[in-house]
Amino acid sequence: MLKIAKTDLPALFQKIAETKDLYLPIRVADQVNFGVYTQDADVSLETLKTVKSPKDAFFPQSETLYTCNKTENKISITPEELQNKEFVVFGIKGCDVKGIEVLDKVFLSEPVDTFYKARRDHGILVALACNEPEESCFCKAFGIDCTDPKADVATWLVEDVLYWNPLTEKGSALTDAVKDLLSDADDSKVKEQQEKTKAIVEKLPYMNLSLEGWNGDVLTEKFDSPLWEELYQPCLACGTCTFVCPTCQCYDIKDYNTGNGVQRYRCWDSCMYSDFTMMAHGNNRNSQMQRFRQRFMHKLVYFPANNNGMYSCVGCGRCVEKCPASLNIVKVVKAFQKEGGDK
């Protein structure tokens, strides 16, 4: 294990940024999100979780796919260049690392999404363990240890020291590039911090959320439950839950008239919107209840049915915090537990 003083982190960031794009949690107008590092950026590694997850680095909220231009009677099509430079996402939490693993299942399965794959091939994840998880967190329910994140490099911020441990070839290569700023360390302080954090985890209200009864084999039972008619009622169909979620992967593809051509781009979409996947004949989910049900059935039933039991929720708690109607996956799971007689 290696270490670097917290006061020397700006030098570390600058060293990485000399050869790679560096994404960090950056505070702008009291909101912290991952953004490109600059020397005057207000970096906030102490923020537990950013407003949006860092999935933007691999699956951007909006990206151009190709451009069509017409010159006289000739049409040219220019595909957007794929990511060809290494970049680092620094400070990503364990739940968001797991979120990227979920996206991998979607975009790296056949047919492979070449835009996503290029970013994954060139992206390096430097994870930061949690010290003080909040009441909205429930990553433990999905098998995630927030004190021991699995990425290319795992780090722990303890007191005024950042501890550093490379876990993959990418992580070792990054470590070699900045080794003159790092020094050897033992892991005693890290272990002490991990035990303190685990003690906090055990006291959080949602950490022991039971997923019993949710898997890929209960499609009909859960789909036909009358509970959905009760649960969806407060839903505003605003889509906030899908835009802050680290695993939501729905997108739309649209064309933009540039005046002398067309840009085709894709952008995030939401299964909570009435026009999502709408075609000439209409929408196959024409009520808000059906759209509400779709979101949670996908997280807890459809996705695990097709991915060896992996849920497409990571317990980050963003939907718990951000939903204006206080609807979230915890409330859904608990409602079905109550229906089944669980306390």
Give the residues across from 183 on adjacent strands. 3
pLDDT value of position 46: 94
3-state DSSP assignment of residue 205: coil
Enumerate the H helices of the chain as residue ranges. 9-17, 94-107, 114-122, 169-178, 188-203, 219-223, 227-231, 240-244, 288-297, 303-306, 318-322, 329-339
Q: Tell me, what's the pLDDT at 283?
A: 60
Q: Which two tokens stand for residue 324?
A: 């204006």
Cα 105 to Cα 267: distance, rounded to the nearest angstrom: 19
Residue reference for tokens 């680290």: 246
The pLDDT, as a whole number, for residue 342 is 45
- pLDDT tens, the chain, 343 aa long: 999 999 999 999 999 999 999 999 999 999 999 999 999 999 999 999 999 999 999 999 999 999 999 887 888 999 999 999 999 999 999 999 999 999 999 999 999 999 999 999 999 999 999 999 999 999 999 999 999 999 999 999 999 999 999 999 999 999 999 999 999 999 999 999 999 999 999 999 998 899 998 988 888 989 999 999 999 999 999 999 999 999 999 999 999 998 888 999 999 998 888 777 666 666 667 788 999 999 999 999 999 999 999 999 999 999 999 999 998 999 999 999 876 544 3
Rg, Å, the chain Cα set: 22
Round to whole Å and give the CA distance between 125 and 154.
Answer: 9
What H or E segment, with its residue span, contains residue 124?
strand 123-128
Query: Tens digit of pLDDT for each residue in 162-192?
Result: 999 999 999 999 999 999 999 999 999 999 9
- Backbone phi, psi, residue 228, to 5°: -60, -35
Whole-prediction pTM value?
A: 0.92
